[in-house]
Amino acid sequence: DTKPTPEPTVRPTPAPTPSGQNLTCTAYGDPHNICFKGNNFQIVPSRTSNFVKLYEIPGKITSVLELESRIEDDKHIDIATALILYDGDMEVMYKIAYNDDDKGLDCKAFSPDLLSASQHTRKGDLQFSWVASGDLPAQDLIISWECKRLEDDTKVGMTITWNKLNIDIADQLKFEEEHNSGSCVDCSPLNIFYPPSPEKTTPPTPETTSDSKVDGDDNKDKENDFDPVQGNGDNFGTRA
C-alpha cells in the first residue's frame, strides 16, 4: 500500500521586520562576511583547507563556503566559488557553484526552476523549515545566493545570505549562540571545515533530490523534521 505523503507544516515565510526578529548573515565573494551581530570580517582559507563553515544547525543542516585562490595582477586573491549544503547526516544535499564548463549553469542547484538568470548574473534561493522538537522551537531558514561574472566571464565571487527566524523566541541572537555554530554565529573567520569522506560528498541526482526532498518520502527528512521549500530568485516558493 502506498503511504500518504505527510502534509508539511505551514508557516509564513520569514521576512525582515521592524522589530528586527530575523537574523541575517551575508558572505561576499571577495570574500568577507557580515555575521548575525553585524560584525564585518575577512574570510580566509587555512593552509590545510579551503572550506569554511558559515552556519550549522546541528543534526539538520551545515552550510560550507568553498574558496578558490588565484593570482591576479601579481597579487594572491581568494574568492567564494561554491556553497555546499549538508544534511544532518553530513551528506551533500546541494552544491551551488560556478560552472566553468557551461557558464549558463553557474550556481544552479540541481533543479532548473531554482535558477533565475540574466547575462553574467545568476540568482537563486532555498527555504528550509523544521518543526518544533523537544526544547527546540520551530525554525525557518532562507538561503539566497547570487553569482557574478565580469563581461570577460571572470568570476567575481558569490554573495550568499542566510535569513534565519526562530519561531516564538524573544532573543534570537542568544538562541543562536547557545544552539548553533559557524562564522555567522560566532563572527569568527576561524571556522575551518574538512569535508567528510568522499562517498558523502557526491550530490544526489536532480531526480533523487526532487523526489525525496519535496515529496517527503526520504526517511532521513522525517527523522530531521525537514521540510524544504524551493524558491526562484527573489520569489520564495510556497508549501503545498
**pLDDT tens for residues 87-108?**
999 999 998 988 877 777 777 7
pTM score over 0.95: no
Q: What does the pLDDT average to over 156-173?
A: 94
The x, y and z cell numbers of residue 17, run together, are: 521586520
Kindly tell me if the per-residue pLDDT of 141 is higher than 80: yes
Note the pLDDT tens digit of each residue in 49-62.
Answer: 999 999 999 999 99
Helix (H) or strand (E) holding 162: strand 155-166
Cβ-based burial of 84 (10 A; exposed 0-12, middle 13-18, buried ≥19)? buried
pLDDT digits (tens, 9 = 90+) for 5-22: 333 333 444 444 434 489
How far the first Cα of the chain sits from its last, in Å, is: 23
Q: Highest mean pLDDT range out of 15-29, 126-140, 196-210?
A: 126-140
At 238 the pLDDT is 30
